[in-house]
Structure 1
Amino acid sequence: MKTWIKRTFFGLAGAALLVGGLAACGHRMHHGWSSNATPEQAAEWRGKMVERIAGKLDLNAEQKTKLTTLGEKLHAQRQALRGQTDPRAEVKALFASDKFDRAKAQALVQQKTDIVRTGSPEVIAALGDFYDSLTPEQQQKVREFMERRRGWRRGG
């Protein structure tokens, strides 16, 4: 795999891990969490996420603004990846006939890869702007949190 693709994927994964991990500090939201949330619910959830993270890291107004921008970029990237159609329906359509539709599957992968490739520089820039605006103590809190949450999907 090309170096720039690896960096893009690691950067995007790091951004998602940072924001998702920090947002998971508090309790799980009941509204605005699902993919069927209205834009108002999603914006409300992002606002609560920013406030929660701001409280944990003692962010100033400028840092909150950068975190808000990061959240908006991540949301836009997620919406672009999801697209206008149901992702599950797209995958189910690959198996609709007696033969697996390889061309359609390859086109779907290419489409999603192109979305990540074009959107990730903005997400990475927003993540970098936010992280670079943190004080060394705040950055250390982020690193410690990420270390504690290592392996959270494996139940560890």
Structure 2
Amino acid sequence: MKSWIQRSLIGLTAATVVLGGLTACGSRGDHARGWSDERISEMRGKAIEKISDKLELNADQKAKLGVLADEMVASRTAFKGKSSDPRAEVKALVAGEKFDRAKAQALLDQKTQVVQDHGPKMFNALGDFYDSLTPAQQQQVREKMERRGRNWWGRG
């Protein structure tokens, strides 16, 4: 194949991939409404009930699962930050003629700090919950994790 044809095909393929990626990122579907506090609370409750039913948790275990869920919600909220539109923060990095490296580094530092602040609390809550499980329940969790994929706790 001639080199100019080859380069043209590679360029066309690259452009198609880039445009397809931008189109996929631009269409937000059902997520356009975002996650309200009520929706998060509703999903938290459903997840706790589903996991409690699958693992047959007692009241103490269910309480520890609730603490874990609270920590996860708090971490998510802190990571999201005060911005109502996290995409706007990223868009601001490329809004000018040049990529705003200083703002990107500040954003990275902010997100990293949130992970460092909330990560230990979340892992402690996860450890407390997991340690409260019976060996049979722990084995059930390991088996679910082993399957990974799409059928995590019946979602799919």
**Class of the TM-score when normalised by the shorter of the 2 chains:** 0.7 to 0.9
2:143 matched to which residue of 1?
144
1:35-92: CA deviation from partner (whole Å, max 9, x where unpaired): 7232222112111110000010010000000001101100110110111112100000
Counterpart amino acid of residue 83 in structure 1:
G
> Structure 2 CA distance, aligned partners of 1:57 and 1:148?
16
Cα distance in 2 for partners of 1:150, 1:64 equals 25
Q: For the residues of structure 2 that align with 1:129 and 1:120, how far apart are their CA atoms? A: 14
Note the residue ranges of structure 1 that are not aligned, 5 or more in a row: 1-30
Q: Which residue identity does 1:54 align to in structure 2?
A: S
- How many percent of aligned residue pairs carry the same amino acid? 55
1:37 is the counterpart of 2:35: yes
* Structure with greater Cα Rg: 2
- Aligned mates of 1:115, 1:41 — CA distance in 2: 23
Q: Which residue of 2 aligns with 1:88?
A: 87
Which residue identity lines up with residue 38 of structure 2 in the other structure?
E
* 1:54-133 paired onto structure 2 within 5 Å: 54-85=52-83, 86-133=85-132
Tell me which residue corresponds to 2:5: none
How much does 1:147 deviate?
0.5
Give the TM-score, by structure 2 length: 0.73
Runs of 5+ in structure 2 lacking a partner?
1-29, 152-156
**SS across alignment from 1:37:** coil
Amino acid at match of 2:89: E
Q: What amino acid is aligned across from residue 114 of structure 2 in structure 1? A: I
For residues 34 and 73 of structure 1, do their structure 2 counterparts lie closer, same or farther at Cα, with a shift above 3 Å needed? Answer: farther
Give, as a single letter, the amino acid of the residue that structure 2 aligns with 1:38. Answer: S
TM-score where L is the length of structure 1: 0.73
Structure ranking higher in helix proportion: 2
